[in-house]
Structure 1
Amino acid sequence: MNNIFQDGLRPELVTGLQKIGFTKPIEVQEAVIPKLLANTSCVVQAATGSGKTHAFLIPIINAINIDQHYVQAVITAPSRELADQLYQVAKSLRQASGLDFAIAHLAGGTDRQRQMDRFAQTKPQLVIATPGRLLDFVEKKIFAVDQVKYFIIDEADMTLDLGFLTDIDKVMAKVGKETVLAAFSATIPVKLANFLRKYMAKPEEIIIDNPAVIAPTIKNDLLDIGSRDRKAVLYQLLTMGQPYLALVFANTKQKVDEIYRYLQDQGLKVARIHGGITERERRRTVRQVEQGQFQYVVASDLAARGLDIAGVSLVINYEIPKDLEFVIHRIGRTGRNGLPGHAITLMREEELNRIGELEKMGIHFDFVDLKRGELVPRKHHHSREDRRAANKKLDPKLIGMVKKQKRKRKPGYKKKIREAIRRDEAQKRKLEQRHQARAEKRRRKRKREQGR
């Protein structure tokens, strides 16, 4: 076993790590564990699926004094699903290590009074909670946080996105000056950085990879569907191979339901996950997916950040999200822990500017086409765009108009120029569409003749 899983760790924890197969730490664990063991506050920027959970759980469990029955560490997660996953991982490590300490899982969707009664009975040393329920317990003085040794914010950018930083702020204002603080996040937006600076003067900043870059184990394809029906393309992609588990992302609950019904009508056994279904149904669906009862799952972005479904071999972005950063988190559902993965983003030509924005964020796409039931490479869209830019010149009459209007400087001349350019571009698009339609007609005619 690597020294990082030995140096400074209690023997029971080392044995537990060996039992669950931790023989060599990965990058985020190598960077974070020694810092937290040394009681150094950290801001950790690490991509989804990088192994950060054990990076903070190992030092926390190592530091818990099992003879002292008060809350010694708090971990927050922005969704019930994430909090439950952290709870399950912590329980697994506790069991493997044989350490006798209590863990409280505090989240909405469960009877508050029952949680309070159980809390009083078990006197937990570790609390894993969603922000709202954590604040509720702290404000009701169910437990104090001024003696907490570790306070961890997991998925900090999602906590910001969902509007939970206010709750976290109220809790963190009550922690002691000696508390070790750590935030783990795929991205560090300015607003989040400012918030963390409020409580951490000079934290250790740890960056593991660039979270805006897709893992090298993922084949990340971009498919221009053109005039083809989007649902039909999706069905073909899902059925032309045998993915172990395919995750399809859409932007809204309504669209998820629409795709879900369509795939069911095509005879596929498919599950759906979004914020509109009940908590009980969502938990049941996730459990069934984990048990291998479904090969296809359609989900909203809740699943991109709020769930950790193992075994996803294929991710399909049915549509590009409004918040482009969600593309990173969607694609990050596959290719985890060094395993190979495949992601396909569907787009149409009018979305090329958004693809350009994603590429500026560091996402590399392989441009592909769907032919005869398989994905084949094609020229990148840049070559087409570059040709258009080179050929895109104003007609001589427009150039003259620009010069004339510039000389006269009459009110509204800029508006007239823009309008003239817009009409010219619209005319060119119309001609190009007509050309494409004719080309498609010729292609279909050749295909019919070849079939005779």
Structure 2
Amino acid sequence: MNNIFTDSRIRPELQAGLKKIHFDKPTKVQEEVIPAMLSNQNVVVQAATGSGKTHAYLVPVLNKIDENSDYVQAIITAPSRELADQLYKVARQLRDNSGLDISIEHLAGGVDRERQLEKIQNKKPQLIIATPGRLLDFVEKKIFSVDQVKVFVIDEADMTLDMGFLADIDKVASKLPKDVLFAAFSATIPVKLSNFLRKYMAHPDEIIIDNPAIIAPTIKNDLLDVGSKDKKRVLQELLTMGQPYLALVFANTKQKVDEITDYLQSQGMKVAKIHGGITERERKRTLRQVEQGQFQYVVASDLAARGLDIDGVSLVINYEVPRDLEFVIHRIGRTGRNGLSGHAITLMREEEMGRIEELEKMGVHFDFVEIKNGELVPRKHYRRRDNRQSKNRKLDTKLVGYVKKEKRKRKPGYKKKIKRAIAEDNRQKRKLEQRHEIRKAKRQRKRRREQGR
């Protein structure tokens, strides 16, 4: 097969630029996506982080831009400012190495709006890389027009959905020309996302890049049942065990990130924190300090799990199992990169067993471990213990008695009475569990509203 990077449809400048940044052999996603987009075919691409998808759409996007026309010709969206910033840097690198005179602008929430506005007014961008909220803001206020956009790319589409930004994308997409080239890239394609994409893409080229090893073989992926122990003390023990080069600890909320950071700092550990609640200036300073090796430990929210690219992470700890189980994969993927070995540990309690099983069904393999004498050692898999106890633990004492007596000779209808009693008991328990789940969901929604997440 011919190398797609030397395809005659790609401008010679771009071909030279790819060569300069040592893009000699395309990845599988690049081999499939670049020809499709060059042929003006809408694409929905399911590919994992690290598959090379960014350049898979950047090459055709830059290829389509007319340097002599000073209007917005292409838009790429990313769900977080970290991701948008990362894409902006990659796009500029390819543009500069190709010697193309293409104006690229980065629009993101949390960054000085007036400064962004001033830059756009001074020089009309031809490519915009933006977060959904800020993009919609500028489009609705007619700061620039989108009626001549040739390409519209949604990166990390599942994360865009998870973070509630699909409505913003929808409002912008509805203003685009009918013949715009649409491309969506995502690690997973949930039903809600698929329905949304069908609204704008009638017959897209669906490209699925198989990722048989969900967790890289270079990563040792452990599961630790905390039990009744103090979770923060367990975390501290794990972090100081073996002295990792750089450890990333993930929690579900910014409040929990603050809580963990405060605790570890009170124990004399030098810890950095990254979440959506800190200022942009503080975030950049923290990342710079981490890159300079000033911190050995970083506590982060899920935004950082998919928005940051920190080199040298040797240990990842999931302090909490995230609400969206896909985030576990992205968190763990922060370590064991570029062929280096990595270690990931997920902390859990018994009530989270069901969620761990869901992860295993998704293809995530865990080694069950415990701490003994200051070391992590293998432990029997939790399901063996769970299955052993599961037979009678859900029955009330009187029902267990019924079951034990079932084999005795009884009057006709006695067995049916036992079965009815057990069925009724299970029905009542399910009812109580449903009520508990509904109340729990209401509390979580209320807490999220209060926390401004």
2:4 and 2:270 mapped to 1: Cα distance?
Answer: 45
> How far off is 1:114 after superposition?
3.0
Matched, 1:370 2:371: yes
Q: Cα distance, 1:196 vs. partner? A: 0.2
Give 1:248 shift. Answer: 0.2
Q: Tell me the equivalent position of 1:395.
A: 400
Which residue is equivalent to 1:356? Answer: 357
CA distance 1:378–1:420, shift in 2 (3 Å):
closer
Residue 71 of structure 2: aligned partner: 70
Matched, 1:5 2:5: yes
Distance 1:331 1:238, change over 3 A: same
Cα distance in 1 between the residues matched to 2:99 and 2:426: 76
Q: Give the equivalent residue in structure 1 for 2:191.
A: 190
Amino acid at match of 1:44: V
Question: 1:15 corresponds to which residue?
Answer: 16
In 2 relative to 1, CA 276–120 (structure 1 residues): closer, same or farther, beyond 3 Å? closer
- 1:2 and 1:25 in contact (8 A); partners too: no
Contact kept? 1:13, 1:62, Cα under 8 Å? yes
1:111–1:274 Cα change, 3 Å: closer
Aligned: 1:203 with 2:204: yes
> Which residue is 1:445 aligned to?
none
Where structure 1 has 5 or more consecutive residues not aligned to the other structure, the ranges are: 422-452
* Distance in 2 of aligned mates of 1:238 and 1:204: 45
- The alpha carbon displacement at 1:191 in A equals 0.8
Q: Which residue of 2 aligns with 1:386?
A: 387
RMSD: 2.9
1:385 & 1:413 partners in 2: Cα distance? Answer: 21
Q: Letter of the aligned partner of 2:3 in structure 1?
A: N
Matches within 5 A, 1:50-199: 50-199=51-200
State the TM-score, normalizing by the size of structure 1: 0.85
Residue by residue over 1:423-449, the C-alpha shift from the partner in whole angstroms, topping out at 9 and shown as x without a partner, is: xxxxxxxxxxxxxxxxxxxxxxxxxxx
2:403 and 2:418 in contact (8 A); partners too: no
Shift of the alpha carbon at 1:417?
A: 7.4
Q: Which moved more, 1:21-30 or 1:255-264?
A: 21-30
Select between 100-109 and 274-283 the one with higher mean Cα deviation: 274-283
Give me the whole-angstrom Cα distance separating, in 2, the residues matched to 1:41 and 1:215: 30
In structure 2, the CA distance between the partners of 1:139 and 1:342, relative to structure 1 (3 Å rule), is same
TM-score, length-normalised on structure 2?
Answer: 0.84
Distance 1:159 1:85 in 2: 16
Query: Is the deviation greater in 193-202 or in 210-219?
Result: 210-219
The offset of 1:130, in angstroms, is 1.1
* Shift in Å, 1:183: 0.6
Structure 1 residues 273-422: aligned runs within 5 Å: 273-389=274-390, 395-398=400-403, 404=414, 406-407=416-417, 415=424
Q: Secondary structure at the match of 1:336?
A: coil
Secondary structure of 2:311's partner?
coil
Identical residues among aligned pairs (%): 71
Q: Secondary structure at the match of 2:125?
A: coil
> SS of 2:72's equivalent?
coil
1:382–1:98 Cα change, 3 Å: same
Kept in 1, the 8 Å contact 2:76–2:152? The answer is: yes
CA contact (8 A) 2:392 2:400 kept: no
- Structure 1 residue 415 displacement after superposition: 4.8
Conservation of the 8 A alpha-carbon contact between 1:103 and 1:126: yes
1:24-63 matches, within 5 Å, as 24-63=25-64
Letter in 1 for 2:25: K
Secondary structure of the equivalent of 2:106? strand
Check whether the contact 1:2–1:24 (CA below 8 A) recurs between aligned residues: no
1 CA distance for matches of 2:95 and 2:429?
71
Matching of residue 256 in structure 1 with residue 257 in structure 2: yes
8 Å CA contact 2:402–2:418 kept in 1: the answer is no
Deviations 1:124-154 (A, max 9, x none): 1111111122112222222222221110001
Report how many residues are paired: 421
Offset, 1:405 = 8.8
Deviation at 1:229, TM superposition (A): 2.7
Q: Report if aligned partners of 1:83, 1:105 keep a CA contact under 8 Å in 2.
A: yes
- Runs (5+) with no aligned partner, structure 2: 431-453
The 8 Å contact of residues 138 and 145 in structure 1, kept in 2 or not, is answered as yes
Deviations 1:313-341 (A, max 9, x none): 21101121233222122212223344432
Evaluate the alpha carbon distance shift between residue 355 and residue 408 of structure 1 in structure 2; reply closer, same or farther with a 3 A threshold: closer
